[in-house]
Structure 1
Amino acid sequence: MRSSSPRSGFPSPRLFSRVPLAGRYPAAVALSLLALSPYLILTTATTLMKPQITREIGATPFELQLTSGMSNAAYAFGAVAAADLVQRVARRHLYLLCEAGFVVSSVLALSAPGIGLFATGVVLQGLCTGMLLVCALPPLVTGHPIGRLRTTAAVVSLGLFGMVAFGPLVGGLVGSLGGWRPLFAGLATLAAIGLTVGALAFEGNEPPAPRAKFDWLAIPLALGTTTLPFFGVAWLTRGSFSDPEFSVPVVCGLVCGVFLVGGQYKKTEPLMPVRPISNTLPVVGTLNAMLVGASFTTLLELTEAYLTREAHYTPLRVGTLVTPQIAGVFVAAVLFRRLMATRWTPYLALSGTLSVSIGAAVLLAVSTKNASALVPVAALFLGFGAGAGVTPGLFLAGFSVPSAQIGPTFALVELLRSEAAFLIGPVLLHLALTTGLAEGFHLAVVITLTVTVVGVLLLIVLYLLGGARPQPPDLESWLSGRSTAYHSPALLAGLRKP
């Protein structure tokens, strides 16, 4: 059985005494950022480095795209797998194992003479980081006094999207100046530092359910939900929308996702708390995170492709032009720190979606003549949108379940967000390339903008029909395990009233 006690997984005093920096908030922040940052930087840095990597290891574009897709799939799957493993394995042990695994996988990738070893290393990087997300973030959120929660919220925002926003600049530097192997060596070094900090600071705990059975429903379905669609979209690098190699894996993977969520909703003791987050606030927050994540990733990929292939900018110039997104993410993190404990969090999440829409509208006016002036403006709005839209949505879901379930909740939301973000982008990019970038870029941006605006309107309607009213979260009760922080009305509750 899975433990649902609010004190599940709390530090063991015996283990606590052996960890010299246990309970130190700065150390907890450091180990969380070091766990997530290396891979998240790589997710957006790779695009601008692809030509160089392709030449040096003799890979085809399809092989490199498949490697990237399977790595993203491994990240999403790893979060779900970790949610299962932390029931039986101490978080500290799993953290140290995954951080060491990231070091080894980085060494495999940087030393690879060909695509086989490189792909193995990069996919393992994604798997380890997905597991680290569930190992490292929940203790940072729930294991410190309530006064730290606002800062923690900002740290999570910077950790998730600040590093993603920093990736293109790193990729541009490497793509123009060379040195992708030293970059992987640097990532391995960061992970080694994270391993050291974790050994000194990560508190030990007794597993909450050491005899819990393997979830034969959730884990295989999560594997199919991630790997099948990501293979399908990677196929577009060498095929077309009409190929069964594209359509069959994507459809089968989405069906697996439906059965995964539906099965977890019906289970009395689910791995991931689907039923508790099926109310208005967490549903709106999760859908908002999915919408913003997908729009941001798609627009970034489209912009990089347009500037590289149509405007013929160097990778460094492209990375520099989109760098203002870092400032946008930072502003969003600061705002979330101020607003997290107030009733304004849903509005901040909505402002993120609106900001992404503004960024898309600016990109509609981009041409090869004015890209240097307009792309930084669009990047600023996109960065703010990503920071303000995703992390508040994540916390709207996390605060709607007991604090002991925040890890599985983060795993579920990240699975859904990753599914949306890394599926839609490659599809619209393929559409733009096959149409011709001069026209295809703007067509794909129009589609993304339309989906985002329609999505905003639907989320507002869903929020209003739920009868939700702005409310500050009850953080004290949530941290103590007495209740959830949000008491959200049921989905579409307004329509159910007599």
Structure 2
Amino acid sequence: MRFSSSSPRPPGRLPLAGRYPAAVALSLLALSPYLILTTATALMEPRIMGDIGATAFQLQLAGGMSNAAYAFGAVAAADLVQRVARRRVYLVCEAGFVLSSVLVLAAPGAGPFTAGVVLQGLFTGMLLVAALPPLVTGHPVGRLRTTAAVISLGLFGMVAFGPLVGGLVGSLGGWRPLFAGIAALAATGLTIGALTFEGNEPPDRRAKFDRTAIPLALGTTVLPFFGVAWLTRGSFGDAAFLVPVVCGLICGVFLVGGQYRKARPLMPVRPISNTLPVVGTANAMLVGACFTSLLELTETYLIREAHCTPLRVGALLTPQIVGVFVAAVLFRKVMVTRWTPYLALSGTVSVAVAAGVLLTVSPANASVVVPFAALLLGFGAGAGVTPGLFLAGFSVPSAQIGPTFALVELLRSEAAFLVGPVLLHLALTTGLAQGFHLAVAITLVLLGAGALLLVCLYALGGARPEPPDLASWLSGSSTAYHSPALLAVVRGRWGGRAE
């Protein structure tokens, strides 16, 4: 399971085993190709629709089911790696991603295209759990800061890079060669992985398939993501929207509640139900949802209202990359200090300021306003989500970081890919000129209310900022954070009165 070793490579060991740069490349190449596509596809839609004869609904459904498969894949992999060596899971999923990319680029119609992008999402979600935990736990404690920055760049740097890629393809054509390039990147990752990723003994080969968590996770992702895709051809009052969304959210409640009550859960809900991980996870959900919503709204406004070309849209949003990079560098510095919760809050504030800036946008000033807002959005995503992910991950034993990442990514994806399409539909049906500003204002209210709630939860938990004990966490002897119980201050006072 571990990538690293300070001793010379023994006979028969993989050529790149134990080399940190190779492990970083392996992880980035596992996640980056798909994450680029999540924000690039929107600017390529007209060309894709024309080439494969797809409708707007079919393309939206393909994207929605792909996002659902990504979130579900993380949970499925958390179950699978209990019984199967991570190396085998990694190699199969990376090879599957290559083949699914080939299926997309060769797709003659909407059916094969949809199947390919859904499989891309599924395999990437599984790769998240197969590849990231060994990168985090398989190297000396001195590498953790760099690893955290790399994960931030991998998760959001590529997302921020997507609009530029999509703009180039949308203006110049060639979406099939793009998928060929994506397949080539994944093939490179497969090659590096075969030379780097060492095998491990699974924790429990006798572990049974989780018959409650996996079906509920499937319902939690597929049902609501189908519902929001329906908005492309329907309305908020349609049963095809309401029923799947409501049923999917109910599945999510039962999934989290069931995992909380289980003695041996697939995902560690109970350990991350304390103040720091709850605040970190909720912050990641809030920032992820609002970032995605504002990005989708801005892209649509620039194309339909400001009449920008896809290339110009991508260029105006490119400062996101700078913001993500700054956030990653800053997180690398503060991760070992007591300032991580404050960095997460600064990400929320940054996205809120970006929303405020976007309220002033018009076709006349878009070339000035949008790049500044994009810079704030990039910083907010990098500073708000990744620190939140690690606040949760460092609150459980290091052996459970994989299932923890799966749970946080499931919740974050659920929020991000549900709120965005709903607000976009609201903006379009209201009339984009006014609807855009209405949707942005709603996002700003969500951010303000959410930030206030998170600050209150942090204060009422009685948490005191302290640096994480990374050495104990990495050795498996303790968690890095010793978080107080949720609402510990209130519970203590009530308990005192009761006595």
When the two structures are superposed, what TM-score results if normalisation uses the length of structure 2?
Answer: 0.97
Query: Within 5 Å, which residues of 2 pair with 1:96-495?
Result: 96-495=91-490
Question: SS where residue 400 of structure 1 aligns?
Answer: coil
**2:27 is aligned with 1:29:** no
Indicate how the Cα distance of structure 1 residues 11 and 350 shifts in structure 2: closer, same or farther if over 3 A, else same: closer
**2:79 is aligned with 1:84:** yes
State how far apart, in whole Å, the 2-side matches of 1:413 and 1:327 are.
25
Is this contact kept in 2: 1:12–1:205, CA < 8 A?
no
State how far apart, in whole Å, the 2-side matches of 1:50 and 1:171 are.
9
Q: 1:23, CA displacement in angstroms?
A: 1.0
Residue 55 of structure 1 is aligned with which of 43, 50, 58?
50
Q: 1:16, CA displacement in angstroms?
A: 9.3
Q: CA RMSD in A?
A: 1.2
State how far apart, in whole Å, the 1-side matches of 2:456 and 2:394 are.
22
Residue 43 of structure 1 is aligned with which of 23, 38, 47?
38
Q: After superposition, give the CA deviation of every residue in 1:283-327 in whole Å (9 maximum; x if it has no partner).
A: 000000000000000000000000000111000000000000000
Percent identity (aligned)? 81
Other-structure match for 1:69: 64
Is this contact kept in 2: 1:10–1:206, CA < 8 A?
no
Q: After superposition, give the CA deviation of every residue in 1:413-454 in whole Å (9 maximum; x if it has no partner).
A: 000000000000000000000000000000000000000011
| Amino acid corresponding to residue 374 of structure 1 in structure 2 | V
State how far apart, in whole Å, the 2-side matches of 1:27 and 1:203 are.
12
Is this contact kept in 1: 2:4–2:20, CA < 8 A?
no
Q: Which runs of 4+ in 1 moved over 2 A?
A: 9-18
Q: 1:12, CA displacement in angstroms?
A: 12
Q: 1:18, CA displacement in angstroms?
A: 3.3
State how far apart, in whole Å, the 2-side matches of 1:15 and 1:457 are.
54
Question: SS where residue 268 of structure 1 aligns?
Answer: coil
The unaligned stretches of length 5 or more in structure 1 are 1-8
Indicate how the Cα distance of structure 1 residues 50 and 11 shifts in structure 2: closer, same or farther if over 3 A, else same: closer
Q: After superposition, give the CA deviation of every residue in 1:262-286 in whole Å (9 maximum; x if it has no partner).
A: 0000000000000000000000000
Is this contact kept in 2: 1:86–1:135, CA < 8 A?
yes
Q: 1:138, CA displacement in angstroms?
A: 0.2
Question: SS where residue 428 of structure 1 aligns?
Answer: helix
Is this contact kept in 2: 1:290–1:390, CA < 8 A?
yes
Is this contact kept in 2: 1:105–1:124, CA < 8 A?
yes
State how far apart, in whole Å, the 2-side matches of 1:470 and 1:80 are.
31
Indicate how the Cα distance of structure 1 residues 15 and 238 shifts in structure 2: closer, same or farther if over 3 A, else same: farther
State how far apart, in whole Å, the 1-side matches of 2:10 and 2:208 are.
25
Question: SS where residue 288 of structure 1 aligns?
Answer: helix
State how far apart, in whole Å, the 2-side matches of 1:270 and 1:12 are.
29
Q: Greater CA deviation, 38-47 or 200-209?
A: 200-209
Question: SS where residue 260 of structure 1 aligns?
Answer: helix
State how far apart, in whole Å, the 2-side matches of 1:26 and 1:56 are.
39
Q: After superposition, give the CA deviation of every residue in 1:469-490 in whole Å (9 maximum; x if it has no partner).
A: 0000000000000000000000
| Amino acid corresponding to residue 226 of structure 1 in structure 2 | T
State how far apart, in whole Å, the 1-side matches of 2:356 and 2:491 are.
37
Is this contact kept in 2: 1:87–1:207, CA < 8 A?
yes
| Amino acid corresponding to residue 113 of structure 2 in structure 1 | F
Question: SS where residue 272 of structure 1 aligns?
Answer: coil
Indicate how the Cα distance of structure 1 residues 12 and 87 shifts in structure 2: closer, same or farther if over 3 A, else same: farther
State how far apart, in whole Å, the 2-side matches of 1:53 and 1:204 are.
40
Q: After superposition, give the CA deviation of every residue in 1:248-268 in whole Å (9 maximum; x if it has no partner).
A: 000000000000000000000
| Amino acid corresponding to residue 467 of structure 1 in structure 2 | G
When the two structures are superposed, what TM-score results if normalisation uses the length of structure 1?
Answer: 0.97
State how far apart, in whole Å, the 2-side matches of 1:205 and 1:496 are.
44
Aligned length: 490
Q: 1:496, CA displacement in angstroms?
A: 1.1
Q: 1:21, CA displacement in angstroms?
A: 1.1
Q: After superposition, give the CA deviation of every residue in 1:313-356 in whole Å (9 maximum; x if it has no partner).
A: 00000000000000000000000000001000000000000000
Is this contact kept in 2: 1:11–1:204, CA < 8 A?
no
Is this contact kept in 2: 1:363–1:375, CA < 8 A?
yes
Is this contact kept in 2: 1:11–1:206, CA < 8 A?
no
